[in-house]
Amino acid sequence: MLKGQQDAYNLNQMTQGGQEMKTLKRVGYPVFILVLCMAIVAGCGNSGGGNGAAPAEGSDKKDSGNNKDRVTLKVEVFDRGNSPEGVTVTNNEMTKYVQENFGDPNNIDVEFVAIPRSEEINNLNVLMAAGTAPDVIFTYNQGAAYSWAKQGGLTDLASAIDEHGPQLKEYLKDSLQYGVFDGSQFAVVARRVHLQKYSSIIRQDWLDQLNMPVPTTTEETYETLKAFKDNKLGGDRTIPFAFALAPDSYEPVIWSFIKEQSDEARYLRSVTIGSREYPILMDGHKEGVQFLNKLYNEGLLDPDFALDKDKKKKTENFVNGHSGLFTFDTGTAFGGESSTVAMLEKNVPDASVVPLLPFTDFEGKSRQPAYTPAGMYIMVPSFSERSAEAIKYLNWMAQDEVIQFMAFGEEGVHFDMVDGFPVGKDGDVGAKLLYNSGDMLIVTNGIDFGSAEKNREYMARMVQEKHREMAKQSMEFSDKDAVQQPIAFDKPLDSEAKYSVVMLEKYEELLVKSIMSSEANFDKTYDAAIKDFMDTAGNEVFAERKAAYEAMK
């Protein structure tokens, strides 16, 4: 806009002043010469730069020669903009620990490279294209990992792992297989300890007021939501079901309506977008969306849910006491003083919540999505010469004592053992060490204490004491009848990588249009949206899925 205005100014002046025009013509020739000279100079500069690169490389080698094999290993680290004062993600107590305990003994300088969390893929794409990406990169985005692998941008790590990574191999066990694309080990896949995906809570005090039990089936849940609305328990703004255009809202509902369970159905009639499986063509999908349509038309959802992609409004409605049923990413609603539940209790003093399984499928089971035991994809770009060092680094990290230190710090200094669990000391003694522990300790997502029960117990300890039992119960619920997703092929599918963004958008459109249509128009709207999805990307993706499935059988 600004630029356009400036152009307009200049032109305006030109047209108004004929005198100046003539002057311009007179000086036109010298200016042209000048431009020409500049172009030549610029060209020279360019080629000079090209030549200059070679000697620079040579001197680099000389340097490293003097330093007897001292090499630099560059490692990505997310920057979430939450560093405590005085430290950065690339220079804090943890990076020093890594340098002292891994770098120095192995004659390696470990250099951390900050990547902004929210711009992760764009940044990595640019760095990969420029050939300047760190030696160790990681992402949760499967599509990006696939696409780099396909274009030949990643190093096959199989031999390096065999040679330098015995400990790593033992630690990761099965999750390593998720990093094999087309028969090559292009990624080291971290372990994921907590597989629970979604949980739900409902307002116990509202149920008490209505004298209703905690709903245990979809039908009961619907009646309860209606009763919430009719009795305006959240005031005039009652939104019985806190709902946003986000997976934690629609996935639990839709999956509970799916009637097909076989692997074949999942291969042939659902698509993978990012790391989620969308059962778009499966028997029951339409009914799931129709149920949401009914809730919408009866005023049980937020009418502006489609604007709320970041779940802000949804959470706001719940913590301010306008909503009764709340579904969330497991592990997020319970916690410290700023957790959703704690905020609700603060804002609405009488409020209390109870965990539940609100949706049941045709068999009366509470089928719900769960994660696969795979965490982030850790990769080494093909242009990196440090694949051996990269594996050495991960191998070093996969030791119990290193994991413990990177997760909790030092016993007695940062934490105390209570009942066999590490409990952080009061105050922020560990802040500068542990604030981004999850982004530094990349070989595992969550800490494994050996059994599901112990892991739950540990997670619950992160929660305010009065909510602990509830949090445990809620996590147990999230495990019930859970199905690990997405179902994976033995190789990445080109079409899914190509259309992942488009498919997600079309799917959201399908949800929004179908849910917001009138009940009479639902069929028409839904069918048109499905057709749109199929025409844009679906047909191609499903054809490839079918071929890949046939080949795999």
Site membership for another protein, residue 512 (CB under 8 A): yes
Decide: is 121 part of the binding site for another protein (CB under 8 A): yes
Residues in contact with another protein, shown as a per-residue x/- string from 142 to 161 under the rule CB under 8 A: --x--xx--xxx--------
Phi-psi region of 215 (alpha: psi -120 to 50; beta: other; left: phi over 0): beta
Identify the three-state secondary structure at position 376.
Answer: strand
E strand or H helix at 88: none
Residue 520 contacts residue 299 (beta carbons within 8 Å): no
Span interacting with another protein, options 89-97, 286-294, 417-425, 501-509, rule CB under 8 A = 501-509
Should residue 44 be labelled a site residue for another protein when binding is judged by CB under 8 A? no
Q: How many CB atoms lie within 10 A of CB 26?
A: 9
* Residue 42 binds to another protein (criterion: CB under 8 A): yes
User: Per-residue x/- mask for another protein, residues 244 to 283, rule CB under 8 A?
Assistant: -x--------------------------------------
* Structure tokens, 490: 């033995």
Does residue 213 interact with another protein by CB under 8 A?
Answer: no
- Residue 374 and residue 445: Cα distance in Å, rounded? 9
Q: Are 205 and 354 in contact, with CB atoms under 8 Å apart?
A: no
237 binds another protein, rule: CB under 8 A: yes
- d(C-alpha 160, C-alpha 399), whole Å: 18
Nearest Cα residue to 198 out of 342, 337, 326: 326
Q: Is 107 in the site for another protein (CB under 8 A)?
A: no
* Among the listed residues 72, 88, 122, 132, the single contact to another protein using CB under 8 A: 122
Please report whether residue 543 would count as binding another protein according to CB under 8 A.
Answer: no
- By CB under 8 A, residue 49 contacts another protein: no
Among residues 181, 257, 286, 278, the alpha carbon closest in space to that of 542 is found at 278
Contact 464, 342 (CB under 8 A): yes
Strands 71-79 and 108-116: parallel
Should residue 524 be labelled a site residue for another protein when binding is judged by CB under 8 A?
no
User: Of 170, 163, 139, which Cα lies nearest the Cα of 400?
Assistant: 170
**Strand 368-371, strand 482-485: pairing:** parallel
Tokens 């592990």 map to which residue? 331
* Interface with another protein (CB under 8 A), residue from 73, 98, 115, 128: 128
We find the least distance from the C-beta atom of residue 403 to another protein, in angstroms, to be: 33
Minimum separation from the CB atom of position 381 to another protein (A):
8
Q: Does 528 bind another protein (CB under 8 A)?
A: no
Cα separation, 150 vs 163, whole angstroms: 25
Of 383-402, binders to another protein (CB under 8 A) are: 383
What's the min distance (Å) between Cβ of 450 and another protein?
40
Q: Measured from the CB atom, is 44 or 551 closer to another protein?
A: 44
| 9 near another protein, rule: CB under 8 A | yes
E strand or H helix at 375: strand 374-379
State which residue, 183 or 383, has the beta carbon closest to another protein. 383
Ranges of beta strands (E only) in 180-302 are: 180-181, 184-185, 188-192, 198-203, 241-242, 271-273, 276-278
Identify the helix (H) or strand (E) that includes residue 78.
strand 71-79
Site for another protein (CB under 8 A): which residue of 53, 413, 417, 501? 501
64 binds another protein (CB under 8 A): no
With binding defined as CB under 8 A, does residue 357 bind another protein? no
Does the protein bind another protein through residue 47 (CB under 8 A)?
Answer: no
- CB closer to another protein, 10 vs 107: 10
Phi then psi for residue 418, to 5 deg, are -125, 120
C-beta closer to another protein: residue 482 or 537 = 537
Min CB(500)–another protein separation in Å: 7
- Within 10 angstroms of residue 513's Cβ, the number of other Cβ atoms is 18
Based on the shown chain and the rule CB under 8 A, indicate whether residue 16 belongs to the binding site for another protein. yes
129 interacts with another protein by CB under 8 A: yes
Count of residues engaged in binding another protein, rule: CB under 8 A? 55
Residue with tokens 């090499």: 71
**Nearest CB to another protein, comparing residues 116 and 303:** 303
User: Do 383 and 131 meet the contact criterion of CB atoms below 8 Å apart?
Assistant: yes
Pairing of strands 415-418, 421-424: antiparallel
Does 27 contact another protein by CB under 8 A?
yes
Binding site for another protein (CB under 8 A): 1, 4-5, 7-9, 11-12, 15-16, 26-27, 29-31, 34-35, 38-39, 42, 121-122, 125, 128-129, 131, 144, 147-148, 151-153, 237, 245, 302-304, 306-307, 309, 382-383, 498-502, 505, 508-509, 512-513, 516, 535-536
